[in-house]
Amino acid sequence: MAQVLKDEIRENILKAALQEFYEKGYRPAAMREIAGRAKIPTGLIYSYYKNKESLFDAVLRPVLYDWERVLTARDDGHSEVIYGLSRAETECLLNLFEHRQECIILFDKSDGTKYETEKDRFIAAIEGHLNKHKKDTDGDEIFIHIIANNFVDGLMQVMYHYKGKEWAMMILHKLSEMYLSGIGL
């Protein structure tokens, strides 16, 4: 019975931390506030997580990816759901939508952490992937950077204004078709 209680407390801490980090970002978030949201003493958090950084790691775990690996994953072709994207890429995006608050925290609210450049890493991975697969070998590299950056910004707008999985997939399909067919992919 005690183990169930511990799992429940851990889950309450994670839920409370997710809300605190989502509302405030990493720096202003306070362990005291997280404990208050979880309805536990502040010191109890430290029984589960060494510090705020390890709690932040746990909150972001569902959205941490090796972006290059996702973009280069060998699978059985393109997804029918989103124009030009592989099944692995589509599954990654579906997971990001499922955990959109964590993704927003990772990309837009992680200043002061080891993740503060994660959005730039994601953009760079997309940029490298597009450069590798583009048909126009004389194309301007800055143009590809702009496309990758705009795609991620579009993805983030879908996260912030999320209306459901089907809606998100439809918007991403349109964005992918516009960007990828526009650069000859």
Q: Which of 183, 115, 180 is nearest to 154 (CA)?
A: 180
CA atoms of 106 and 118, how far apart (whole Å): 7
State which amino acid sits at residue 96.
L
Q: Which two tokens stand for residue 116?
A: 């503060």
More confident of the two residues 100 and 129: 100
Phi, psi of 34 (to 5 degrees): -60, -45
Q: Which of 101, 113, 153, 122 is nearest to 28 (CA)?
A: 113
CA atoms of 141 and 75, how far apart (whole Å): 27
CA atoms of 174 and 178, how far apart (whole Å): 6
Task: Kindly tell me the burial class for residue 154, based on how many C-beta atoms sit within 10 Å of its own C-beta (0-12, 13-18, 19 or more).
Answer: middle
Q: 114-123, 126-135, 164-173: which has the highest mean pLDDT? A: 114-123
pLDDT at 74: 63
Residue-wise pLDDT for 30-50, tens only, equals: 999 999 999 999 999 999 999
State which amino acid sits at residue 171.
I
Q: Mean of the pLDDT values across residues 117-138?
A: 86
Q: Are 139 and 133 in contact (CB under 8 A)?
A: no
pLDDT at 153: 97
pLDDT of residue 10 exceeding 60, the answer is yes
Q: Mean of the pLDDT values across residues 171-175?
A: 90
Q: Are 87 and 77 in contact (CB under 8 A)?
A: yes
pLDDT at 70: 84
Percentage of the chain modeled with pLDDT above 70: 88
**Lowest mean per-residue pLDDT among 29-43, 76-90, 142-156:** 76-90
Q: Mean of the pLDDT values across residues 60-88?
A: 77
pLDDT at 1: 44
Q: Mean of the pLDDT values across residues 168-176?
A: 90
Q: Mean of the pLDDT values across residues 62-91?
A: 77
CA atoms of 62 and 103, how far apart (whole Å): 9
pLDDT of residue 57 exceeding 80, the answer is yes
pLDDT at 40: 96
Q: Mean of the pLDDT values across residues 123-132?
A: 89
Q: How far is CA 142 from CA 67, 128, 131, in A?
A: 20, 12, 11
